Amino acid sequence: MKLIRAEFYLSGVSLFTSDTDSFRIADSYVLVNALDPDVLYSAGNYPSDYNFNIITMNVGIDPDKNHGDPTLYPPSHPLGTKSPDMHWGWAAGI
């Protein structure tokens, strides 16, 4: 078997300090291409004056965004229209 495409979404990124302070990065969605190890991904903006030691995130996206319209986002946005398509829907049959 040879993988020619391996992409997935990361979302819901939260950062924690040893003092139990937490910071959730709102609306953070990252489309990861697992076959390109040289790409660095940004999870969004967070305060730089904290020393974070734990990160949590979800694989995939939340149901509201999952059922949303990808054409509402610019093509450069992770949830925007892609080629090949990353959007799943009943009408598409995939």
Nearest residue to 49 via CA among 75, 17, 3: 17
Which residue type is seen at 83? S
pTM reported for the whole predicted model: 0.79
Phi, psi of 2 (to 5 degrees): -130, 125
pLDDT at 93 over 70: no
* DSSP bridge pairs for 59: 10
Cis peptide before 84 (omega within 30 of 0): yes
Say how many residues make up the chain: 94
Domain ranges within the chain, ordered by starting residue:
7-72
Which residue type is seen at 67? H
Tens-place pLDDT, residues 32-59: 998 988 888 887 778 788 888 999 999 9
Q: Please state, in angstroms and as integers, the Cα–Cα distance from residue 37 to each residue in 10, 40, 41, 93, following that order.
A: 16, 8, 11, 31
